[in-house]
Amino acid sequence: MSIFRMQGSFIENLPKIYGFYTGGFVVFVLLMALMERAGVKEDTIGLMFVGFTVFIYAVIGWLSRTMQLDAYYVAGRQVPAVFNGMATAADWMSGASFVAMAGGIYMAGHPYLAFVVGWTGGYVLVAVLMAPYLRKFGCYTVPDFIGTRYGGNLARLCAVIVLVVASFTYVTAQINATGTIASRALLIPFQVGIWIGLAGILLCSMLGGMRAVTWTQVAQYIVLIIAYLVPVIWMSNKQGFGVIPQLVYGDAVLRIAELETLHQVGVLKSAAQSGLTALNVKHNAPPDTFVGSVQFVTLVACMMMGTASLPHILMRYFTTPSVRAARTSVAWSLFFIFLLYFTAPALATFTKLQMLDPNLATSIIGKSVADVNAITWVQKWTSVGQVKVIDLNGDGILQINEFFMRPDIVVLATPEIAGLPYVISGLVAAGGMAAAMSTADGLLLAIANALSHDLYYKMIDPKADVKRRLIVARVLLIVIGAAGAGVASMRLTGILGAVAWAFDFAMSGLFFPLVLGVWWKRANRPGAIAGMVVGLLVGSWYLYMVYAGGMKPWIGIDHLRFGIIGAGASLIAMVVVTLVTAPPDKETQDMVDEVRIPKGDTVLGSTH
């Protein structure tokens, strides 16, 4: 049949290739649904979903394997804008976006909308301040841009250090998410699940670098967006709100408010000792105090500035064929991200209603504790340490403040909570795995590329041949991935907490050196170094003091928002040091002028 004939180049056939892939995935989901109806066990279906999707990503990585530097680092700079937008969306919508964000909104309501606003608004900063201009420089990595713009190995080294700190913090959150998903889908301990997830991540990124990661992330976006939209549309229709949940969940919010009042929601001290979060979430009103307003605004600012500073996101715009395509790619990224973020509050709302509304067969509040403990999904999530039921008053009836659940599992557990066919649970698990793996791939690649290219090749062994450089990059991927899995197994903080820290680290050290590197010709090497060093050190000090050192946060700027302090210190240090030292030479200033013209050929200031 002519539909299966591929004429032209691989790039020209991308729509057809991913059309076949999407159709094949839908057929697989339907096949799993038929197997469920035929009596195949749920655990088997969950295993097949996770195993099949990880296998597909590994195959893409294998087919995209390369020993060419340009393909390994920047996918040959030939990724069309729409597909780069999908890859960037998958790279961006991590385990935090897919797994944890809706859970945060579910548990704490309005304050967690700051993540949605900040992460989406951050792409406006990327489009306006960064992407086209970084692409015009024609560099491989963010430290490469810093080294090219400011000159000298010290500036490059400082950028590498900030990148590693921020990206490593972020990757531990993604490995945490893969462990959470694998532990439930495969019914194995969390500590084992993270290593299984890591193996799938490395299979892709090791073989083909940015080229393999790019094509895998396009495939992963297709899976994760289908997996995210299907359950919430199904729940909305099942509850009588229609098939466009994003526009109608306001009525469900009002119903939840009534039910919370009815159940007399209260915060229990026992929540802290359980290590989980109670279902009681009386936090749906906007902050009505000065500190509450400051916390919302500063969290939005941290997520926006952190977005515009994250190396693995900025790297994506080095892969487009032109400067104009980089700008278009940002617009596509925003559209693809919008589909999920616009849906997250609706998912959190309808899931909560499933738990609270006595008119729904799936509700658990007010029922016998024994009956609740006998529910299959409660048993299975309890067995992996994610759910706990505690009859605090001993009356045998489950009150709203006697059910505890980790926010990180809300999305994953939603299909079971809503009584949907188990095939939907498998689909969501596959989507969550896709989200976490896609971001982890990008993060590990960002770290390994920075260390192999900017540290090893640029500073340690400039004469290293291509083969040696790629071997170094791949070895680093394994080492960094293993270290990330080790840290993730400690569960130092939740997924959203670790992600917020990563954004804060990135903005503390990189935001102003990057922005001023494009928009302030006077910015020089000593100023950039001062900005990176002071920003990272001050931000890290503030994090330690408010998180572990017993210091009271300044006007509500807690450990999730320490980037405000770090970035402020970075800006002051960079401006002051720049103004008291000599300006950059005329060649550098002319280069900055040329870069500000968002079209034309790249200004490649360094040899690759």
Q: Is 463 left (phi over 0), alpha (psi -120 to 50) or beta?
A: alpha
Residue 454 pLDDT: 72
Q: What angle do CA 582, 584, 590 make, to 5 degrees?
A: 150
Instruction: Select from 532, 529, 523 the least CA-distant residue to 583.
Output: 523
Residue 526 pLDDT: 96
Residue 126 pLDDT: 82
- Give the list of residues 6+ apart from residue 286 with CB closer than 8 angstroms, or none: 110, 292, 296
Strands 403-405 and 387-389: antiparallel
Q: Are 364 and 372 in contact (CB under 8 A)?
A: yes
* pTM beyond 0.75, yes or no: yes
Residue 285 pLDDT: 43
Residue 72 pLDDT: 52
Residue 301 pLDDT: 94
Q: Are 233 and 226 in contact (CB under 8 A)?
A: no
Residue 270 pLDDT: 40
State the burial class of residue 331 (Cβ atoms within 10 Å of its Cβ: 0-12, 13-18, 19+). middle
Residue 492 in 3-state DSSP?
A: coil
pLDDT in tens, 520-553: 999 999 999 999 999 999 999 999 999 988 899 9
Residue 567 pLDDT: 96
Residue 136 pLDDT: 73
- Taking the C-alpha atoms of residue 457 and residue 451, their distance in angstroms, rounded to an integer, is 8
Instruction: Select from 182, 179, 183, 181 the least CA-distant residue to 171.
Output: 179
Q: Indicate the residue type of 487.
A: V
- Taking the C-alpha atoms of residue 581 and residue 491, their distance in angstroms, rounded to an integer, is 44
- Residue 450: CA count within 13 A, CB half-sphere: 32
Instruction: Select from 222, 207, 195 the least CA-distant residue to 72.
Output: 207
Residue 606 pLDDT: 41
Residue 426 pLDDT: 85
Ranges of each domain in the chain: 2-370+410-595
Residue 76 pLDDT: 43
Q: Are 84 and 316 in contact (CB under 8 A)?
A: yes
- Give the list of residues 6+ apart from residue 291 with CB closer than 8 angstroms, or none: 555, 556
Instruction: Select from 501, 420, 495 the least CA-distant residue to 178.
Output: 495
Structure tokens at 373: 């403990």
Structure tokens at 535: 């920003």
Element spanning 405, H or E: strand 403-405
Angle, helices 190-238 vs 81-92, to 10°: value is 110
If you classify domain 2-370+410-595 with CATH, what class do you get?
mainly alpha
Low-confidence ranges of the chain (pLDDT < 70): 1-10, 61, 64-78, 95-96, 108-109, 138-140, 184, 203-212, 263-288, 316-323, 491-494, 598-608
